[in-house]
Amino acid sequence: MLDSRGALAAEIAESVKLALHAKQSAEQLNVTVEKSLREEARRSELKLAYLRVSATGAFSIFLLGRLFLSKVSTIPPPTIGSLGAALAWTTFSGVALLLLRKDWYKPWLRRAFPITDGALLVAAFGLTRMGGDPFAPFPGLATTFAVLCVVLAFTGAFRLTRSAVELTTGLAMLALLLTMAVGWLSPLATGGAVVAVLLSGALALSVTDMIRRVVMNEVGRVTLDQMYGEAQRVIDAREEILRIVAHDLRNPLNTISMATSLLLEESADATRTSQLRIIRRAGERANRLIQDLLSVTTIEAGRLSVAPRKVSISELLHESAEMLQPIAREKSITISVIAADDLPSVRADPSRVLQVFSNLVGNAIKFTPAGGSITLSAERGDGNVKCSVRDNGPGIPAAQIPRLFGKFWQAKRGDSGGVGLGLAIARGIVEAHGGTVTVESEVGKGSVFSFPLPVWNGESARNDSGQWSTLTREIPSQSAPA
């Protein structure tokens, strides 16, 4: 037989779970971040390519200018080695810029470009020294080479990975040590340049980490905003469906209930009367389910209205016990009330508090075995009266207690006694009264659900002035666990 209530709850829970499952996981978020960083690194590499072309272009113009001036003045022309170095570096810079402008950027180019830069830097230094170029002796060419090594170390920051910074720093240091080994740089100049390269590399690492944190935070913020927006749309759609279904079902159910009551008044046949009573009880259960759905949507929307007034808590306890006694009697469960005669009156909405007791006691009846007992009690607290519902049922495992007040959550899946809204509604009503529901339970010994109600005092009377007021609190929603 199809359990429509369980099916409705399962369908809603599955819709939410599927919607949330479609969101980006932590791994997908990391992929998104890396993709964003790779795209930013491509743009940075393009900027670096323009700088490289500009530098090599300026160097080539300088050499060509010297070559032209050597024809009309005493300025010595550049050597073949200098021209060869300029040609090689200009060619590489042009090819790199062309590839990047065509959006051809692969991860391995993050390593290929700096390695080529380092190799050409050393080669250009060696070629320029050949042929007795007047700019080759120290400090002109050596200083330029050291500065370019420092720049090379920092270019790793443009590629936005720590490994790229470590590579460029290592290449710059290797170039310096290699030139010192062949006698092109003095040990003292090499030592100073190495220190500058290390400082440049440390700065590049800091810049890289900072940029990665900024990108990670921004991508994470955008992703979370999208997740929140999508989840909110799912929740809003679900709540709208619940409101429509509840509204459209109440009218025909009320018609069925009224017609059944009329037929019961006219029925004299015992079998027919029994069947009509079954129909009426089914209609009443469906009505209670609809009311629960409406109540939980009202609570979540922060529009729960309570009309507080001066109420005797002892009368509420006895009224609750009398109301639920017939249901308990069917399972041979006894309901008792323990409340001192001198308990102060409380400031509460009696119909709402009765709903809380109905949900808590009804839940206790459902799980307490036949022959068990349930106790409703109240005791004076600090500015309030603490109400409790105690049972000697099987108790609640500690792992399940944090999930008790989630909507549509049930300790036993497929339970035909409801869809798991009673405790969520009870919590919402108690919080609208300024309190909270607490749970104490021990497996095998039973459970105790407690909540406070504020004591009625002169200030309460002045605030209410004999009129009905509305307390509206935003009750945080809690989705059913998957």
DSSP 63-128: HHHHHHHHHHSSPPPPPHHHHHHHHHHHHHHHHHHHHHHTT---TTHHHHHHHHHHHHHHHHHHHH
**With bands split at pLDDT 50, 70 and 90, how would you rate the model's confidence at 466?**
very low
Please give the Cα distance from 383 to 385 (Å, whole number): 7
Rounded average pLDDT over 343-364: 89
Q: What's the mean pLDDT when you consider all of the chain?
A: 78
pLDDT at 450: 94
pLDDT at 301: 61
Please give the Cα distance from 334 to 103 (Å, whole number): 79
Residue among 161, 155, 153 nearest 208 (CA): 161
Using DSSP, state whether 413 is helix, strand or coil.
coil
Residue among 183, 114, 113, 180 nearest 146 (CA): 180
**Which region among 206-215, 302-311, 380-389, 463-472 has the lowest average model confidence (pLDDT)?**
463-472
Contacts of 337 (CB under 8 A, 6+ apart): 314, 317, 318, 321, 375, 376, 377
- Which comes out higher in pLDDT, residue 349 or 220? 349
**Which region among 17-31, 38-52, 374-388 has the lowest average model confidence (pLDDT)?**
17-31
Question: Which of 78-87, 97-106, 320-329, 465-474 is predicted most confidently?
Answer: 320-329
Rounded average pLDDT over 261-275: 80
Rounded average pLDDT over 41-67: 83
pLDDT at 12: 46
User: Is pLDDT above 70 for 290?
Assistant: yes
- Which comes out higher in pLDDT, residue 12 or 68? 68
pLDDT at 468: 40
Q: Which residue has the tokens 């009673």?
A: 422
Phi, psi of 475 (to 5 degrees): -90, 120
**With bands split at pLDDT 50, 70 and 90, how would you rate the model's confidence at 4?**
very low
pLDDT at 474: 40
Q: What is the pTM of this model?
A: 0.46
**Which region among 163-177, 216-230, 301-315, 462-476 has the lowest average model confidence (pLDDT)?**
462-476
Share of the chain above pLDDT 70, in %: 77
The bridge status of strand 438-442 relative to strand 446-454 is: antiparallel
pLDDT at 464: 53
Six token digits for residue 404: 């008790």
The one-character DSSP state at 335 is E
User: Is pLDDT above 80 for 199?
Assistant: yes
**With bands split at pLDDT 50, 70 and 90, how would you rate the model's confidence at 73?**
confident
Phi, psi of 338 (to 5 degrees): -125, 110
Using DSSP, state whether 451 is helix, strand or coil.
strand
Question: Which of 78-82, 120-124, 220-224, 225-229 is predicted most confidently?
Answer: 120-124
Phi, psi of 410 (to 5 degrees): -135, 145
Six token digits for residue 241: 């469906």
**With bands split at pLDDT 50, 70 and 90, how would you rate the model's confidence at 476?**
very low
Dihedral of alpha carbons 288, 291, 297, 299, sign: negative
Contacts of 263 (CB under 8 A, 6+ apart): 276
pLDDT, one tens digit per residue, over 133-173 is 655 555 667 888 888 899 889 988 888 788 888 999 999 99
pLDDT at 28: 65
Q: Centre a 10 Å sphere on the Cβ of residue 40 and count the other Cβ atoms it contains.
A: 16
pLDDT at 29: 63
Q: What DSSP element (H or E) covers 453?
A: strand 446-454
Alpha-carbon distances, residue 169 vs 93, 153, 156, 258, 430 (angstroms): 20, 4, 8, 86, 64
Residue pair 9/414 in contact (Cβ under 8 Å)? The answer is no
Q: What DSSP element (H or E) covers 44?
A: helix 26-72
Share of the chain above pLDDT 90, in %: 16
pLDDT at 300: 65
Rounded average pLDDT over 16-21: 50
Rounded average pLDDT over 247-261: 78
User: Is pLDDT above 90 for 252?
Assistant: no
Rounded average pLDDT over 36-65: 82
pLDDT at 413: 45
Please give the Cα distance from 142 to 176 (Å, whole number): 10
Residue pair 479/406 in contact (Cβ under 8 Å)? The answer is yes
pLDDT at 83: 81
pLDDT at 87: 85
pLDDT at 282: 75
Please give the Cα distance from 36 to 160 (Å, whole number): 11
Rounded average pLDDT over 429-445: 89
Peptide bond preceding 139: is omega within 30 degrees of 0, i.e. cis?
Answer: yes
